[in-house]
């Protein structure tokens, strides 16, 4: 009988942990979905509210790093001078827990096709992968990857190698 009580307690404990983790992952996905919606709606106040004060954004290129105030101000600048519209299509979200190392924590991956319309004409469609680290209901870090050369090509730029 004692074995059954211990076994029942262990099973209940496992389900309780799984339930809490699942709830947290669902909440984290909602934070990222709401942030993406704020980006699409060009709602800078909401964007700022979803970013933690210690937010750090990395990418798309190695060495590209930006912090909360810069991130929101950059979006404002791009919308005022460059973007007419940004639309996420085929957006998929996946919660991930990384248990050790420099990236330890709760993450939400977002794979999306972004359709960008520019103020002075032209459009670009990019496939973007952004991974958001969530802590206490806020985004503390993001890592964005997409093919910058392809986006520039779609905007009419040509990449010409430097002559030796």
- Domains of the chain are 2-154 (3.10.450.50)
Structure tokens at 70: 């810069």
Q: Render pLDDT for 111-157 as a digit per residue (tens, 0 to 9).
A: 999 999 999 888 999 999 999 999 999 999 999 999 999 998 998 89
Mean pLDDT of the 75-85 span: 89
Q: Render pLDDT for 41-59 as a digit per residue (tens, 0 to 9).
A: 989 999 999 999 999 999 9
Distance CA 112, CA 81 (A): 24
Terminal Cα-to-Cα distance of the chain (whole angstroms)? 81
Q: Is 42 helix (H, G, I), strand (E, B) or coil?
A: coil
pTM, whole model, 2 decimals? 0.81
Look up tokens 């799984």; give the residue.
18
Exposure of 120 in the CB half-sphere (CA atoms within 13 A)? 6
Phi first, then psi, for residue 137 (nearest 5°) are 75, 10
């Amino acid at each position: 009988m004692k074995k059954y009580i211990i076994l029942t307690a262990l099973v209940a404990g496992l389900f309780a942990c799984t339930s809490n983790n699942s709830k947290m992952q669902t909440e984290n996905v909602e934070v990222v979905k709401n942030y993406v919606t704020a980006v699409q709606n060009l709602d800078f106040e909401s964007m700022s509210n979803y970013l933690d004060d210690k937010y750090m954004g990395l990418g798309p290129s190695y060495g590209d790093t930006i912090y909360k105030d810069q991130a929101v101000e950059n979006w404002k600048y791009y919308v005022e001078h460059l973007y007419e519209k940004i639309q996420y299509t085929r957006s998929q979200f996946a919660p991930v827990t990384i248990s050790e190392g420099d990236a330890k924590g709760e993450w939400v991956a977002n794979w999306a096709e972004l359709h960008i319309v520019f103020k002075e004409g032209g459009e670009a469609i990019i496939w973007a992968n952004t991974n958001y680290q969530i802590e206490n209901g806020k985004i503390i870090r993001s890592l964005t990857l997409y093919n910058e050369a392809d986006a520039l090509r779609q905007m009419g730029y040509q990449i010409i190698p430097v002559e030796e």
